């Protein structure tokens, strides 16, 4: 009974995904029957310029937001390691909350906040600008990167904090006992040992941003990311081309997440 | 004492963590080239003292001086001391050579790389790890890691080496070897060693000066034999070495020649430390090796029945039940020819030299709770 239930749950979870992958290799047009093995939909997907543009957008947004998140998250983690116990507890709770808040809420909240901000900044810019065409802040790349970067910063902070905690104060003190100033200690002792965690954080942040539809949908403005493109094209019916994109995104995500896990599991990084 | 001859000096140094006072205001000084052991039970503030010398903790009050200079504003990386951490704190992402060379690489102006390589190799040879330079830290045994930690500190030729329970994680055989090696190194290099340990045997056997701490205060500072033979109070007598404590009351306080009546009514002479008016309760310490066992004579004196015998090789320990006094521990040299002399169940007479008993006031804490625990250093 229990077993059947569990099987059903996993079936519901993974069967549709398996079907997407299977039908991405379908020679025929229709999802109703598998008429033969073919790579043709992958070729079509890769030669679709709208699709490739959305993919490029997604890559730019994911790389930038994950990069920013890695920088800010690492800095936050190091800062928190030095903060008092009360400050630390408050910020740990805030970062934890940022991760469990549903995407819809983040999306709406970011949208509202950005629109309000633009409402204040744009008139001010227009008034102060010496030229004729003052720049206008609007939804687009910037707002997606900001929204993803904020969420991912929380993610990276949590991951790097865990690694820093395992490092302990001994290592830092030993370095400083051996005449190394704070900067050298960070560069030679701390950074090499938390680097796997930072990279893992980057990969997870990248995966999140690359796959995210909900938050991006709210704040993308006129920009199209890959998930938004897929969503839009599904209205015109599920084609094997969509399946091919889905299979590619799935493969990339799995590779990135596994790489992140391997980085996090490795105890001591290679000698430098 | 002139401060040029002192390597480390505490002037009224104390340390509080919130409500916890880890170290009460303390004055204390370590002469150049000494091997001093900070000895005391866990939580008595030894590590805190060491960390204040290293610069990892700031004193709440008072001054720490190294080589006569006030260290108040000096960060750990500018202090002429090096520390061997309790869990070694080796850098796992470096090999053995890189660990040892780390301190040399920070020296400005820079040392040449051949100089660094030579001194690193010398330091490794000094701790008998020549040829281990390319090993990874996690490929070494605990004893070898300990030696790397030692080489990593000594290669910098500090004026003071701080050691926080450096041998606690090693097994007994290795510990004994390292104790001898550390002593030899200290003599050869002439560097001041400050060793933190809770192991009284280690403190007594290795150091020139033992500093006994309890509850964040220094209770006694002196040469190992002085600490052992003339403990300052009941705590030191109990903590350093094994001893028997007998309850008694003061009959006559003559200082070095006080008369004490024991619980069984017997009166003995003892050296009374810490004062006590006639009638005051005291605790009399008698070391096990000060007790001599002989065949029972029936004379009035100390006597009892052997309840247990623990054979330790060169010596044997006897637990002797003495009517009115409880069980006393006595140590006797093992004499193979006569080993059948004393057996559990035998009656024995116990005698001791008149100078052996040391009496301490029982309610000790009032007399030792001075605001500052000031102790003179001998050098
Ligand atoms: N960072 C700290 N925060 C709060 N209390 C501490 C800290 N370090 C030490 N203590 C307290 O100070 C006292 C002395 O500690 P320590 O110097 O480590 O003792 P020892 O090394 O003799 O075992 C202990 O009661 C310990 O709990
Ligand atoms: Mg300690």
What pLDDT, in 10s, does the model give residues A32-56?
777 888 888 888 888 888 888 999 9
What pLDDT, in 10s, does the model give residues A105-142?
989 998 999 999 999 988 888 888 887 787 888 888 88
| ipTM associated with this complex | 0.82
**Residue B226 confidence class, pLDDT cut points 50, 70, 90:** very high
Distance of alpha carbon A229 from alpha carbon A241, whole angstroms: 12
Distance of alpha carbon A23 from alpha carbon A37, whole angstroms: 9
A43 belongs to a structural domain = no
Q: Any idea which ligand is nearest the CA of B168? A: 2
Centroid of chain to Cα A221:
19
Ligand 1 pocket test target in B48, B165, B211 with most atoms within 8 Å of CB: B48
Query: How far, in Å, is the centroid of ligand 1 from the Cα of B194?
Result: 18
B145 lines ligand 1 (CB under 6 A): no
Say whether A178 and B92 touch across the interface (CB within 8 A).
no
A105 and A184 share one domain: yes
Distance from CA of A69 to the nearest CA of B (A): 26
A3 and A129 share one domain: no
What pLDDT, in 10s, does the model give residues A60-77?
999 999 999 999 999 999
A18 and A153 share one domain: no
Which protein residue's CA is at the shortest distance from atom 1 of ligand 1?
Answer: B17
Task: State residue B4's pLDDT score.
Answer: 60
Query: How far, in Å, is the centroid of ligand 2 from the Cα of B48?
Result: 7
Instruction: Give the DSSP letter of residue A186.
Output: I
Which protein residue's CA is at the shortest distance from atom 14 of ligand 1?
Answer: B45
Query: How far, in Å, is the centroid of ligand 2 from the Cα of B37?
Result: 13
Domain span holding position A4: 1-38
A170 and A103 share one domain: yes
User: Is pLDDT at B2 greater than 80 in this prediction?
Assistant: no
Task: State residue B334's pLDDT score.
Answer: 75
The answer, for A193 touching chain B at a CB cutoff of 8 Å, is yes
Task: State residue B298's pLDDT score.
Answer: 59
Say whether A171 and B77 touch across the interface (CB within 8 A).
no
Q: Which residues of B touch A183 (CB under 8 A)?
A: none
Task: State residue B299's pLDDT score.
Answer: 59
B84 lines ligand 1 (CB under 6 A): no
3-state SS, chain B, equals CCHHHEEEEEEEEEEEECCEEEEEEEEEEEECCCEEEEECCCCCCHHHHHHHHHCCCCCCEEEEEECCEECCCCCHHHCCEEEECCCCCCCCCCEHHHHHHHHHHCCCCCCCHHHHHHHHHHHHHHCCCCCCCCCEHHHCCHHHHHHHHHHHHHCCCCCEEEEECCCCCCCHHHHHHHHHHHHHHHHHHCCEEEEEECCHHHHHHHCCEEEEEECCEEEEEECHHHHHHCCCCHHHHHHCCCCEEEEEEEEECCHHHEEEEECCCCEEEEEECCCCCCCCEEEEEECHHHCEEEECCCCCCEEEEEEEEEECCCEEEEEEEECCCEEEEEEEECCHHHCCCCCCCCEEEEECCCCCCEEEECCCHHHHCCCCEECCCCC
What pLDDT, in 10s, does the model give residues A237-264?
777 888 888 888 889 889 988 988 888 8
Residue that is written with structure tokens 């500190």 in the block: B153
- Mean pLDDT score, B153-171: 92
A108 belongs to a structural domain = yes
pTM of the model: 0.81
B52 lines ligand 1 (CB under 6 A): no
Q: Which residues of A touch B91 (CB under 8 A)?
A: 171, 174-175, 189
Say whether B93 and A268 touch across the interface (CB within 8 A).
yes
Task: State residue A73's pLDDT score.
Answer: 95
Indicate if the alpha-carbon torsion angle B26, B27, B30, B35 is positive or negative.
negative
CB pairs under 8 A between A and B: 68
Query: How far, in Å, is the centroid of ligand 2 from the Cα of B176?
Result: 20
Cβ neighbours of residue A154 under 8 Å, at least 6 residues apart? A73, A94, A95, A96, A98, A99
A239 belongs to a structural domain = yes
User: Is pLDDT at B366 greater than 60 in this prediction?
Assistant: no
Q: Which residues of B touch A166 (CB under 8 A)?
A: none
Domains observed in chain B: 3-234 (3.40.50.300), 242-365 (2.40.50.140)
By C-alpha distance, the chain B residue nearest A194 is B93
The answer, for A184 touching chain B at a CB cutoff of 8 Å, is yes
A33 and A59 share one domain: no
Average pLDDT score over chain B: 88
The answer, for B138 touching chain A at a CB cutoff of 8 Å, is yes
A110 and A30 share one domain: no
From the CB of residue B131, how many other CB atoms can be counted at a distance below 10 Å? 10
Distance of alpha carbon B245 from alpha carbon B286, whole angstroms: 7
A272 belongs to a structural domain = no
Task: State residue B37's pLDDT score.
Answer: 96
Say whether A173 and B85 touch across the interface (CB within 8 A).
yes
Say whether B93 and A193 touch across the interface (CB within 8 A).
yes
A23 and A89 share one domain: no
Find the CATH number of the domain harbouring A111.
Answer: 1.10.3720.10
A56 and A25 share one domain: no
A55 and A24 share one domain: no
Please identify, by atom number, the ligand 1 atom nearest to the C-alpha of residue B46.
22
Number of domains within chain A: 2
Query: How far, in Å, is the centroid of ligand 2 from the Cα of A264?
Result: 32
3-state SS, A5-54, equals HHHHHHHHHHHHHHHHHHHHCECCCCCCCCCCECCHHHHHHHHCHHHHHH
Distance of alpha carbon B347 from alpha carbon B307, whole angstroms: 10
């Amino acid at each position: 009974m229990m077993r059947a239930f569990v099987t059903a749950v996993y079936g519901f979870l993974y069967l549709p995904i398996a079907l997407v992958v299977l039908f991405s290799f379908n020679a025929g047009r229709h999802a109703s029957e598998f008429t033969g093995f073919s790579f043709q939909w992958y070729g079509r997907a890769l030669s679709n310029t709208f699709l490739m543009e959305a993919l490029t957008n997604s890559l730019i947004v994911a790389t930038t937001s994950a990069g920013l998140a890695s920088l800010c998250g690492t800095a936050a983690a190091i800062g928190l390691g030095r903060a008092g116990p009360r400050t630390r507890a408050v910020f740990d709770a805030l970062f934890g909350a940022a991760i469990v808040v549903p995407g819809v809420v983040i999306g709406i909240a970011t949208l509202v906040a950005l629109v309000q901000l633009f409402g204040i900044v744009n008139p001010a810019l227009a008034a102060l600008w010496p030229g004729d065409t003052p720049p206008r802040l609007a939804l687009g790349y910037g707002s997606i990167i900001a929204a993803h970067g904020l969420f991912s910063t929380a993610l990276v902070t949590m991951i790097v904090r865990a690694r820093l905690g395992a490092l302990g104060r001994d290592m830092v003190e030993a370095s400083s006992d051996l005449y190394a100033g704070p900067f050298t200690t960070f560069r030679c002792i701390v950074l090499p040992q938390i680097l796997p965690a930072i990279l893992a954080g980057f990969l997870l942040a990248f995966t999140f941003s690359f796959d995210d539809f909900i938050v991006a949908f709210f704040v993308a403005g006129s920009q199209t990311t890959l998930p938004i493109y897929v969503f839009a094209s599904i209205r015109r019916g599920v084609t094997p081309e969509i399946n091919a994109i889905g299979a590619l995104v799935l493969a990339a995500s799995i590779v990135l997440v596994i790489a992140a896990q391997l980085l996090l599991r490795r105890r001591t990084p290679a000698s430098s | 004492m002139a401060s040029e001859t002192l390597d480390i000096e505490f002037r009224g140094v104390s340390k509080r963590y919130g409500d916890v006072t880890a170290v009460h205001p303390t004055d204390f000084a370590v002469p150049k080239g000494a091997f001093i052991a900070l000895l005391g039970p866990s939580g008595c503030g030894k590590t805190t003292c060491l960390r204040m010398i290293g610069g990892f903790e700031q004193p709440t009050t008072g001054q720490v001086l190294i080589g006569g200079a006030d260290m108040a504003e000096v960060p750990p990386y500018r202090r002429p001391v090096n520390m061997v951490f309790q869990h070694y704190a080796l850098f796992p992402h470096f090999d053995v050579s890189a660990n040892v060379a780390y301190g040399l690489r920070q020296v400005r102006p820079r040392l040449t790389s051949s100089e660094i390589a030579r001194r690193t190799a010398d330091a490794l040879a000094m701790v008998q790890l020549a040829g281990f330079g390319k090993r990874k830290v996690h490929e070494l045994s605990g004893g070898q890691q300990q030696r790397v930690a030692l080489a990593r500190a000594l290669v910098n030729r500090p004026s003071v080496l701080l050691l926080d329970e450096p041998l606690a994680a090693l097994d007994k055989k290795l510990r004994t070897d390292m104790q001898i090696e550390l002593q030899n190194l200290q003599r050869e290099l002439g560097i001041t060693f400050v060793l933190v340990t809770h192991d009284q045997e280690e403190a007594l056997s290795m150091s020139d000066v033992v500093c006994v701490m309890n509850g964040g205060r220094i209770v006694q500072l002196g040469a190992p034999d002085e600490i052992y033979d003339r403990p300052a109070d009941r705590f030191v007598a109990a903590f350093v070495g094994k001893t028997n404590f007998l309850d008694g009351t003061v009959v006559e306080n003559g200082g070095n020649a006080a008369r004490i009546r024991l619980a069984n009514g017997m009166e003995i002479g003892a050296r009374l430390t810490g004062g006590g008016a006639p009638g005051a309760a005291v605790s009399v310490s008698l070391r096990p090796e000060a007790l001599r066992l002989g065949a029972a004579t029936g004379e009035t004196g100390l006597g009892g029945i052997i309840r247990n015998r623990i054979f330790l090789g060169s010596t044997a320990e006897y637990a002797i039940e003495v009517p009115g006094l409880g069980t006393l521990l006595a140590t006797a040299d093992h004499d193979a020819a006569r080993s059948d002399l004393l057996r559990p169940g035998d009656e024995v007479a116990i005698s001791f030299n008149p100078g052996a008993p040391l009496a301490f006031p029982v309610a000790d804490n009032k007399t030792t709770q001075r605001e500052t625990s000031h102790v003179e250093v001998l050098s």
